[in-house]
């Protein structure tokens, strides 16, 4: 009976706690509905990749579910794929929640494709000491392209950017076109003066203060933002998104491909361990996946792969460094132009470009040295290893008998037919099956 009462008491307490928690949650929800407003913020940093697109798409979906006042995208990008940029723009335009694109931090920029993303926002802002623009197309090596192709690319990009900048006035529209045709760029204050952006904000709090009472257009409807007393919430990238974002960095992608290649080459030089080979394949595949997420110049990729092939070829057809030197040149040339495309220009740090192939060359040189050394080393196992070995006569050789070599008794014959007494030290001069030919040591 006592146990029943105790159980009933615990059940009653649990019920009271559950009701209390539900009531607290409802109270918070009602308070939020009555006056509490929320602004979601995400940080988007690095080249435009599928990871960036999925992160922005997820953030907009979350903002819609939570019915927030606005979603702020803090943007810092050198640009990227035109196709991916268009998909991001479409996602922003389709949002039911106002999206504010904020070029941040100070010193950051919204270059190339970043210009389009900034203009796609329902409102746009920049931090001091940031820049925007320079969306002129270039060829795979970063230089000018021929007039016909340039005109085709520019006409498409100009048409796209006019649709985004048209609502911002004639000056903004003119600048947006020149950002493509003349690679024009603008500082934060310059962009504000010509109407490309709506605010210059020192930080997030300053931005929300300026946005308070500002009117934006969402799907043709005018919406007045109320962000002055809004609660700021951040949406963090998932662990997978962070990992993919890290490896999608051009420098990291190149490093992964190179380290994977190094490990595979090392496995070829020193076969049998398998660990370096397995790790190398994994790193190489991850690196190639990362490169696949970025707009790459395939001529550069081909040159890099050619360099790796030449490194491996050196191991099998020694040319005393000729193939290795050619591989270093091909790898460096490929790395220099790998991430320079008409839609994206990124220069991998020069130390990485030079250091990686030089590291490969050093490892290959080390491997070739070992191979050459092994060619001049006398065998130490098997019948060949017995040649020159020192032994002791156990049964006098007259001229046949037995000797003790390498801890074993062997049938033996005196080389010159002369008798050799027991206990005499001898050298092995020939091996015929299980019979040794020997002579006195020192002769």
Confirm if 426 and 441 have CB atoms less than 8 A apart. Answer: yes
CA triple 310-316-317, angle to 5 deg: 75
8: left (phi over 0), alpha (psi -120 to 50) or beta: alpha
Give the span between the Cα atoms of 93 and 99, in whole angstroms: 8
Q: Which two tokens stand for residue 249?
A: 């960095």
Q: Which two tokens stand for residue 207?
A: 């931005």
CA triple 39-40-44, angle to 5 deg: 140
For residue 188, what are the contacts with CB-CB under 8 A and spacing of at least 6?
103, 126, 127, 128, 129, 130, 131, 132, 197, 200
Give the span between the Cα atoms of 365 and 359, in whole angstroms: 10
Confirm if 38 and 233 have CB atoms less than 8 A apart. Answer: yes
Query: Could you give the dihedral angle defined by the CA atoms of residues 308, 311, 313 and 315, in that order, rounded to the nearest 10 degrees?
Result: -140
- 358: helix, coil or strand? helix
Active-site residue set: 112, 152
Confirm if 393 and 422 have CB atoms less than 8 A apart. Answer: yes
CA triple 88-94-97, angle to 5 deg: 105
Pairing of β 123-126 and β 199-200: parallel
Q: What b/e readout covers 362-395, taking b as 16+ CB neighbours within 10 angstroms?
A: ebbeebbeeeeeeeeeeeeeeeeebeebebebbe
Give the span between the Cα atoms of 369 and 362, in whole angstroms: 11
């Amino acid at each position: 009976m006592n146990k029943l009462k105790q159980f009933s008491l615990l059940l009653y307490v649990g019920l009271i706690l559950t009701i209390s928690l539900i009531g607290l949650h409802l109270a918070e929800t009602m308070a939020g509905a009555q006056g509490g407003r929320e602004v979601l913020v995400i940080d988007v940093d690095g080249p435009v990749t599928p990871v960036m697109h999925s992160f922005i798409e997820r953030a907009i979906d979350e903002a819609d579910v939570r019915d927030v006042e606005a979603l702020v995208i803090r943007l810092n990008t050198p640009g990227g794929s035109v196709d991916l940029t268009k998909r991001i723009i479409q996602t922003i335009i389709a949002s039911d929640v106002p999206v504010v694109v904020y070029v941040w931090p100070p010193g950051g920029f919204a270059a190339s494709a970043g210009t389009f993303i900034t203009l796609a926002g329902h409102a746009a802002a920049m931090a001091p000491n940031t820049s925007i623009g320079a969306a002129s197309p270039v060829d795979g090596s970063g230089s000018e392209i021929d007039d016909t192709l340039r005109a085709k690319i520019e006409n498409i990009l100009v048409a796209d950017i006019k649709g985004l900048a048209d609502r911002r006035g004639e000056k903004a529209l003119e600048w947006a076109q020149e950002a493509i045709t003349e690679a024009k760029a603008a500082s934060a204050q310059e962009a504000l003066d010509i109407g490309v952006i709506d605010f210059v904000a020192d930080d997030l709090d300053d931005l929300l203060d300026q946005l308070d009472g500002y009117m934006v257009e969402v799907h043709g409807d005018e919406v007045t933002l109320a962000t002055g007393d809004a609660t700021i919430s951040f949406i963090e990238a998932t662990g997978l998104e962070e990992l993919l974002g890290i490896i999608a960095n051009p420098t990291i992608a190149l490093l992964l491909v190179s380290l994977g290649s190094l490990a595979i080459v090392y496995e070829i030089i020193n076969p049998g361990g398998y660990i370096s080979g397995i790790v190398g394949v994994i790193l190489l595949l991850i690196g190639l996946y990362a490169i696949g997420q970025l707009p790459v110049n395939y001529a550069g990729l081909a040159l890099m792969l050619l360099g790796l092939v030449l490194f491996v070829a050196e191991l099998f057809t020694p040319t005393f460094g000729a193939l290795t030197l050619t591989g270093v040149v091909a790898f460096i040339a490929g790395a220099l132009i790998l991430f320079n495309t008409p839609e994206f220009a990124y220069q991998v740090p020069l130390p990485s470009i030079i250091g990686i192939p030089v590291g490969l060359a050093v490892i290959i040189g080390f491997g070739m040295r070992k191979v050459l050394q092994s060619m001049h080393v006398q065998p130490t196992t098997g019948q060949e290893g017995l040649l020159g070995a020192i032994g002791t006569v156990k049964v006098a050789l007259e001229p046949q008998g037995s000797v003790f070599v390498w801890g074993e008794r062997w049938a033996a014959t005196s080389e010159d037919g002369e008798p050799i007494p027991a206990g005499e030290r001898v050298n092995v001069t020939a091996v015929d099956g299980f019979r040794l030919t020997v002579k006195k040591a020192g002769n």
